[in-house]
Structure 1
Amino acid sequence: MSMDELKRRLGQVSDLEAAAGLMSWDQETQMPPEGARVRGLQMATLEGLAHELFTSPRTAELLDAVGTPADETDAAVVRVTRRDLDKAVRLPTGFVEEAARARNEAHHAWLHAREHSEFATFAPHLEKMLDLARRQADLLGYEDHPYDALLDEYEPGMRARQVREVFADLRDRTLPLLRRITAAGDAADYGVLTRPFPFGAQKAFAWRVAGEAFGLGPDFSRQDESAHPFQTNFSREDVRITTRVEEYWPACLFGTWHETGHAMYERGVAPRWERTPVSAGASLGVHESQSRMFENLLARSRPFWERYLSALAEVAPEVTAGLDAGTLYRAVNRVRPSLIRVEADEVTYNFHIMLRFELELALLGGELRVADLPEAWNAKMREYLGLTPPDDAQGVLQDIHWSAGLIGYFPTYTLGNLLSVQLLEAARRDAEVAAGVGRAEYGSLLAWLARHVHGHGRSLTPAELTERATGRPLTADPYVAYLHAKYEDIYGLKAEG
C-alpha cells in the first residue's frame, strides 16, 4: 500500500506542476498583457504547493517504507524520486515561490527590453536572477564552483570543468574548419532563403512535415507562435510546440522541426512512467540531442530535400523556382558567422554556446558585473565570430533563458549536438534504420529512438543512457567527423588528414 500512496502523492505533484506549466504556456501564447501581474502570483502559488507537497515529511516516510521494490518500474520511480527529493528539501518553499514570482516579472521585462533594445530595462531583473541562482547553488551545495550545482539541475553528473574541456577540444577542431569554409566563398545562391514565403504557408508546411516525416500528430500536439520557440507538455498525450515566422523562412521551418524533436521525445516516454518524476527526458543534453537530430541531421540532409522539394514547391513556388534539391540542400546548410544563435549554422552554433557559458561563469563568480554584460557580450562575439551586434536586441537580449532563471542551461545545447551524431551513428548500424534515413523515411529511426532513448524517461542517467544506446561514453569524435565530412563536401574542400 505504501507504493500506491507514494504514487498518488507523486501524481498530485505532477498535476500541480502541469497546471503551472499550462499557465506558463498560456502566458507565452494567449494571455493578454495585463494578465501578467496576477499570473505571476498564480504560478508562484501552484509551484509552491507542488514543492511543499513533494518535500513534506510524508514523502520521505513513504520512500523509507517502500525500500527498494522488486518491481523494476517501481524501483526506478523510487530511485529517481529519492534523488529529486534530496535536492528539493534543500530549497525552502518560500524560495521556490520567490523565484517563480521573479521569473514572471523578469520574463515580461525581457519582452519589453528586447522589443525596444533596452538592456537597462532588463538589467535589474537579471541581477535578481543571478542572486537567486547563487542562493540556489549555496542551498544545493557544490565542491568546486557554484555553476556545478546549477548545471547538475539540467545535466546530472556534469561539471563546469568537464564543459571547459569539451569546449576547448571543439574549439581547436572546428575553428580551423570554419576558417577554411569562410575562405572558400559561397556554395550556393543564398538569396533563396529570403524569397517570398507567406507566413501562413511557412507554418502550414512546417507543421505538415512535422507530421509526415517525424510523427507529430494533431491528436496529441498543437503549434502556436511565441517570441522564442519552445516545447512544453502536460502529459505524453498533450505536447505543444511554438514557432515564429519572419522573412528569413528557415527560422520558422527549422525552428518547428527542432521543437518537434523535443516533442517526440516526450511523446515517446513509456506510459508506465506517467505522473511520476521519471516521466521526462533523461537530461536537457539528451533532450537537445533529439531536437538537433531532427533539425540538422535529418531536416538539413540531402535525402530530406530530395523527398520534400516537391511538397515545398506546392506551397511556395516562388521559393523553389529554378531550384533542384542539391542547390536547396547547399543553401539551407550555409555557413556564415551570424548574430542570432537560433539561426546559426552547425559549424558556428557552438561558438554561441561557448560565449554564453563563459559569460555565465564570470557573472556567477563576480568577475563580471551585469552593467558591463552588453560590452562583454559584444567583445566575445568579435572574438569568436568576428561580428559586433548593432543593438542589444540582436546581442545580449536575444535569448529568453536568463529571464526564465535558466542559468547553467546553455552547455546542454552543445552536449546535445555531440550526442545527436553519436546516437544517429549507433542507430544506423541497424540496416533498416540506415535505409530509411537514406530515403528520408524515419519510421524505423523513431522506433529505434523510442526503444533506446525515449522510452526510458529519467530511469537512466545521461551517462548510462549514452553507454547503453551507443556502446561508449559521450565523445566529440563522431560530431567533429560529421562536420568535416559534410561541409568539406558542400564547400568543395579537400579532406584533411
Structure 2
Amino acid sequence: MSMDELKRRLGQVSDLNAAAGLLSWDQETQMPPEGARVRGLQMATLEGLTHELFTAPRTAELLDAAGTPAGETDAAVVRVARRDFEKATRLPTEFVEEAARARNEAHHAWLDARERSHFATFAPHLGKMIDLARRRADLLGYEDHPYNALLDEYEPGMRSGQVRAVFADLRDRTLPLLRRVTAAGNAADYGVLTRPFSPEAQKAFAWRVAGEAFGLGPAFSRQDESAHPFQTNFSREDVRITTRVEAYWPACLFGTWHETGHAMYERGVAPRWERTPVSAGASLGVHESQSRLFENLLARSRPFWERYLPALAKVAPEVTAGLDADTIYRAVNRVQPSLIRVEADEVTYNFHVMLRFELELALLEGTLRVAELPEAWNAKMHDYLGLTPPDDARGVLQDIHWSAGLIGYFPTYTLGNLLSVQLLEAARRDPEIAAGIERAEYAPLLAWLAEQVHSHGRSLTPAELTERATGRALSADPYVAYLHAKYEDIYGLKAEG
C-alpha cells in the first residue's frame, strides 16, 4: 500500500505543477498586463506548496518503504522520484518562493526592457537571477564549478568541461565551413523570405502542416502567440505551443514546427507515466533533438518542400509566385550570420549558443559584471559572427531564458542538434522509414521516435536513451558530416578531404 500512497502523493505534486504551468502559460498568452503583480504571488504560493508537499518527511518515508519495486514501471517511478527528492530537499521552501517571485518580476522587466531596447531596466533583475543561480548551485552542491549543478538540472550527467570540449570541437570543424559558405555568395533569391504573407495565413499554414506532417492535432493541442515561442503541457492530452509572426515569415513557420517537435515528444510519453515524475522528456537536450529534427532535418529538406509547396501556393500565392521547390528549399536554408538566435541557420546557430554559455560561466564566476554584459555580448557576436548588434533588443535582451532564471539551459540546444542527426541516421536504417522521409511522409518515422525516444519519458537517462536508440554514445560526427554534405551541395562547394 505504501507504493499506492506514494503514487497518490506524486500525482498531487504533478497536479500542482500543472496548475502552476497553466498560470504561467496564461501569463504569456492571455493575461492583461495589470495582472502581473498578483500572478507572481499566486505562482510563488503554488510553487511553495508543491515544494513542501514533495519534500515532506512523509515522502521520504514512502520512498524508503518502496525500496526497489519489482515492476519496471514502479521501479522507474521510485528511481526518478528519489533523485528529484534528493535535489529538492536541498532547497528551502523560502528559497523556492523567493525565486518564483523574482522570476515573475524579472520576466515583466524583461518584456519592458526588450520593448524599449533598454538593458538598464532589466539589469537589476538579471543581477538577482545570477545571485539566485549561485545560491541554488551552492544549495544543490557541485564539483569543480557551480555551473555543473545548474547544467545537471537540464541535462543529467553532463558537465561544463564536457560542453567546453564539444563546443571547441564544433568550432574547429564548422567555422571553416561557415567561411567557405559565406564566401560563395547567394544560393537563391532570398527576397522570397520577406514577401508579403499575412499573419493569419502564416499561422494557419504552419498549424496545418504541424498536423498533416507531424501529427499535432486540435483534440490535444492548441497554438497561441507569445513574445518568445515556447511549448508547455499539463498532461499528454493537453499540450500547448506558441509562435510569433514577423515580416520574415520563416520565423513563424519554422518556430511552429520547432515547438511541434517538443509537443509531440510530450504527447508520446507512455500513458503509464502520467502524473509521475517520469512523465516528461529525458532531458532538455533530448527534447531539443526533437524540435530541431522537425524544424531542420525534416521541414528544411527538399522532399518537404516538394510536397508542401503546392499547399503554400494555395494560401500565399504572393509568396510562391515564380518559385519551384528547389528554389524555396535553397532560400529557407540560407546561411548568413544573423543577430537573432531563433532565426539563425544551422551552420551559425551553435555559435549563438557558445556565446551564451561562455557569458553564463563568466557571470557565475564573477569575472563579468551584469553591467558589462551588453559590451561583452557585442564583442563575442563580432568575434564569432562578424556582427555588432545595433541595440539591446537585438542583442543581449533577445532571449527570455535569463529572465526565467534558466542559467545552464543554453548548451542543451547544441546537444539537441547533435542528437537530432544521430537519431535520424539510426531511424533511416529502416528502409520503410528512409523511403517515407524521401516522400515527406513521416508516419513511420514518428512511430519509431515514439517507441525509441518519446515513450520512455524520464525512465532512461539521456546517455542510456542515446545508446539504446542509436547504438552509440552521443557524437558530433554525424552532425558535422550532415552540415558539410547539405551545405556543400546547396552552395556548390567541393567536398573537403
- TM-score, normalising length from structure 2? 1.00
Q: 1:325: how far off?
A: 0.1
Match of 2:23 in 1: 23
The Cα offsets for residues 319-362 of structure 1, whole Å up to 9 and x where unpaired, read as 00000000000000000000000000000000000000000000
CA distance in 2, matches of 1:182, 1:224: 35
Match of 2:179 in 1: 179
CA distance in 2, matches of 1:447, 1:143: 40
Q: What one-letter code is carried by the residue in structure 2 that aligns with 1:193?
A: L
1:104-143 matched pairs, under 5 angstroms: 104-143=104-143
Q: 1:12: how far off?
A: 0.2
Residue 367 (structure 1) aligned with residue 362 (structure 2): no
Match of 2:227 in 1: 227
Secondary structure of the residue aligned to 1:223 is strand
Unaligned runs of 5+ in 2: none
Secondary structure of the residue aligned to 1:232 is strand
1:424-443 matched pairs, under 5 angstroms: 424-443=424-443
The Cα offsets for residues 194-228 of structure 1, whole Å up to 9 and x where unpaired, read as 00000100000000000000000000000000000
Match of 1:351 in 2: 351
The Cα offsets for residues 213-263 of structure 1, whole Å up to 9 and x where unpaired, read as 000000000000000000000000000000000100000000000000000
CA distance in 2, matches of 1:125, 1:425: 43
Secondary structure of the residue aligned to 1:46 is helix
Q: What one-letter code is carried by the residue in structure 1 that aligns with 2:478?
A: P
Match of 2:144 in 1: 144
CA distance in 2, matches of 1:262, 1:270: 15
Match of 1:399 in 2: 399
Q: What one-letter code is carried by the residue in structure 2 that aligns with 1:464?
A: E
CA distance in 1, matches of 2:491, 2:189: 13
Match of 1:385 in 2: 385
CA distance in 2, matches of 1:206, 1:483: 25
Match of 2:50 in 1: 50
Match of 2:420 in 1: 420
Match of 2:292 in 1: 292
CA distance in 1, matches of 2:402, 2:66: 39
Match of 2:494 in 1: 494
CA distance in 1, matches of 2:359, 2:350: 14
Residue 332 (structure 1) aligned with residue 356 (structure 2): no
CA distance in 1, matches of 2:180, 2:256: 31
CA distance in 2, matches of 1:431, 1:90: 49
Secondary structure of the residue aligned to 2:229 is coil
Residue 307 (structure 1) aligned with residue 271 (structure 2): no
Unaligned runs of 5+ in 1: none
1:195-214 matched pairs, under 5 angstroms: 195-214=195-214
Match of 2:266 in 1: 266
Match of 1:60 in 2: 60
Match of 2:451 in 1: 451
CA distance in 2, matches of 1:202, 1:11: 39
CA distance in 1, matches of 2:40, 2:130: 19
Secondary structure of the residue aligned to 2:474 is coil
Q: What one-letter code is carried by the residue in structure 1 that aligns with 2:27?
A: Q
Q: What one-letter code is carried by the residue in structure 2 that aligns with 1:39?
A: R
Q: 1:491: how far off?
A: 0.1
CA distance in 2, matches of 1:450, 1:190: 36
Q: 1:26: how far off?
A: 0.1
CA distance in 2, matches of 1:289, 1:319: 30
CA distance in 2, matches of 1:16, 1:80: 18
Q: 1:11: how far off?
A: 0.2
Match of 2:100 in 1: 100
> Which segments of structure 1 move beyond 3 Å, counting only runs of 4 or more?
none
The Cα offsets for residues 17-62 of structure 1, whole Å up to 9 and x where unpaired, read as 0000000000000000000000000000001111100000101100
Q: What one-letter code is carried by the residue in structure 2 that aligns with 1:146?
A: P
CA distance in 2, matches of 1:201, 1:436: 28
The Cα offsets for residues 70-101 of structure 1, whole Å up to 9 and x where unpaired, read as 01100000000011101000000110000000
Secondary structure of the residue aligned to 1:308 is helix
Q: What one-letter code is carried by the residue in structure 2 that aligns with 1:63?
A: L
CA distance in 1, matches of 2:56, 2:431: 51
CA distance in 2, matches of 1:254, 1:215: 16
Q: What one-letter code is carried by the residue in structure 2 that aligns with 1:429?
A: R
CA distance in 1, matches of 2:109, 2:53: 31
CA distance in 2, matches of 1:419, 1:247: 31
The Cα offsets for residues 399-431 of structure 1, whole Å up to 9 and x where unpaired, read as 000000000000000000000000000001011
Match of 1:190 in 2: 190
Identity %: 90
Q: What one-letter code is carried by the residue in structure 2 that aligns with 1:12?
A: Q
CA distance in 2, matches of 1:113, 1:64: 48
CA distance in 1, matches of 2:476, 2:379: 27
Q: What one-letter code is carried by the residue in structure 1 that aligns with 2:12?
A: Q
Q: 1:441: how far off?
A: 0.5
Secondary structure of the residue aligned to 1:113 is helix
Q: What one-letter code is carried by the residue in structure 1 that aligns with 2:408?
A: G
Residue 81 (structure 1) aligned with residue 78 (structure 2): no
Match of 1:34 in 2: 34
CA distance in 1, matches of 2:485, 2:245: 31
CA distance in 1, matches of 2:66, 2:152: 27
Match of 2:163 in 1: 163
CA distance in 1, matches of 2:85, 2:38: 29
Secondary structure of the residue aligned to 1:393 is coil
Q: What one-letter code is carried by the residue in structure 2 that aligns with 1:69?
A: P
Q: 1:66: how far off?
A: 1.2
Q: 1:168: how far off?
A: 0.1
CA distance in 2, matches of 1:234, 1:203: 23
The Cα offsets for residues 154-196 of structure 1, whole Å up to 9 and x where unpaired, read as 0000000000000000000000000000110000000000000
CA distance in 1, matches of 2:438, 2:453: 21
